[in-house]
Structures are given as C-alpha cells and as structure tokens.
Chains A and B, each alone.
Chain A
Amino acid sequence: MKANQLSLTFSSISENVGITRLLIASVGAQLDLSLNDIEELKVAVSEAVSNAIIHGYKNNPDHIVYLNLDIAKDTLKIVVKDEGCGISNVEQAMQPAYSTDPERMGLGFVFMQSFMDELQVESTLEVGTTVTMIKHLKQTPISSH
C-alpha cells in the first residue's frame, strides 16, 4: 500500500459529520477494505467527530475540528482533534453507557473501540481532546485475483 496522508479541517457544525464519513468511505474503498470494514470505519469516524462537536465544542458552530488520515503500509491511522473543553475523566467517559445527556446512549467510545484495532484518547481540560484510532490493514496476497 502506498503511503498517503489526508487532512480535513472543518467548522464544528453537524452537516460536516456526513462529509467526514464520505471521506473515510472513499479512503476505505481505495484500500480495498470490505464493505463491512468501511461501514465500521464510518461509524467510528462519525462518533469521534460528533463527540468533538457535541462535547468538545458544546455544539458551538464557531470552532474547528481537525481530521487527519495517515495511511502506511499496514495501518490506517485516524486522528480527530478538537480544541474544546476537554474531558475531566477520560477513563469514566470511555465507560459504556456513560453519557452527560440522557438522550444519548454513551456508546460513542464503545463503537470506536469495537470497530478499530487501537483507540487512544488524550485530553486536557480547556485545551482539547485528541482521539487516535488505528485500523490494521491486512496484507493482500499477491495472487488475490
């Protein structure tokens, strides 16, 4: 797989969540991932970006979310970064069913964890949150056709 990098910088508005899904789906297709893998990547990215907008920026549309994709030989690294309020207790926030809003299921991190091979969350109060997700790419055998 050719090394490749993509960055998307966008306003913290909900319309953009769908655009990030389009981007990851296109990259997934280019990497020859299965439709199932692509669906899972879409959910993971959607959760990370939604978290940045809803929790990091508290739905304030005047901020910027950063999405970086780093494709190496055998890994796809997805980094979603916000410069929002940060998470006071990352461990607690990552628990299933933990949510600050009763209308939400608290499943964002659960989905990210289920669908990615690695998940790392770094957060500092009033500085922001960076979510790093890694998907291991299977080496395609040369005679796969």
Chain B
Amino acid sequence: MDDSEINSTDINLGGMVLKLEKKIERLTLLLRLDGELDMHTASMVRQAIDIEIEKRGIRTVILNFQNVRFVDSSGLGVILGRYKKLLPMGGKLKITNAPPHIYKIMELSGLPKIINFYMDEAHAYEEGRGA
C-alpha cells in the first residue's frame, strides 16, 4: 500500500481530452492512457512520466494504449523521448494493448523495432521480473 498508488489526472477540459491513470509499484510506473495523444496532450504525458523517473527513481514504464483513440508524430515523439531518457539509466519502456489502427502508425514510424510491445499488462510485468 505504501509504495503503490492510483490516481487520475485529467488533461485539458476541452473537447480533446486525455485521461491518465497512474499506478506505481516498486520501481515500475504503469500509465493507462485514455483519449488522444497529440501535441496538445504529449507534454502532459512527458511531465507525468519524467516526474516519476526523477523523484521516485522509476526505471520501468509500462504504457497501456488500450483506450488511445489517436496518435500522431507528436505522440510518438513523447514515447521515443521517454525511451531515450530511460535507456542510459538501464530502464525500460513497454507498450501494451495497442489497438490495430494505433499500432499501424507506430509500425510506420519504426517504433516496434526499438520498443517492446505486449498483449496486456500482465505480460509486460512478467517480462524482466526477477532478472
């Protein structure tokens, strides 16, 4: 209980909303995204992740994309940026539950060549555990 917490942050109260649900367990941050990931919401995602890396020493970030309805190059940029930040720290970034039309955009960008994708959160947690 002490080292895990759940909270939700609303990003932008306008029409295009991205909701974030954070769950922290030991050195792993799980972020469930719900909405659209573009230049407007990307900076908030960046802040949400970076603050946990810097303040809590988070080294594994799992992004659940199940409820992401849109992503463009600004959204992909924030993912790539977190990957680049974690890499020299020995950290990892994992993506789960990417819907087909979102995965298609990611594939076109070459992201799956450097970032591991998992079918669900359980598989993402499992891989690398105890290693």
Q: Which positions in A face B, CB cutoff 8 Å?
A: 14-15, 17-19, 21-22, 36, 39, 42-43, 46-47, 50, 53-54, 101-108, 110-111, 114
Closest to B76 in A: A105
B39–A53 CB distance below 8 A: yes
B15–A18 CB distance below 8 A: yes
A18–B77 CB distance below 8 A: no
Q: Which positions in B face A, CB cutoff 8 Å?
A: 12, 14-16, 36, 38-40, 46, 70, 72-74, 76-78, 80-81, 84, 101, 105, 108-109
Which residues from chain B contact A17 at a C-beta distance below 8 Å?
A: 16, 38-40
Q: Name B14's contact: one of A15, A42, A43, A46 (CB within 8 Å).
A: A15
Q: Which 8 pairs of residues, A with B, have the shortest CB-CB distance?
A: A18-B16, A14-B40, A107-B73, A104-B77, A103-B81, A46-B72, A50-B39, A108-B73
Most B CB within 10 A of own CB, among A21, A22, A53, A114? A21
Which residues from chain B contact A42 at a C-beta distance below 8 Å?
A: 70
With both chains docked as a complex, state the minimum distance between the C-beta of B68 and any C-beta of chain A, in angstroms.
Answer: 12
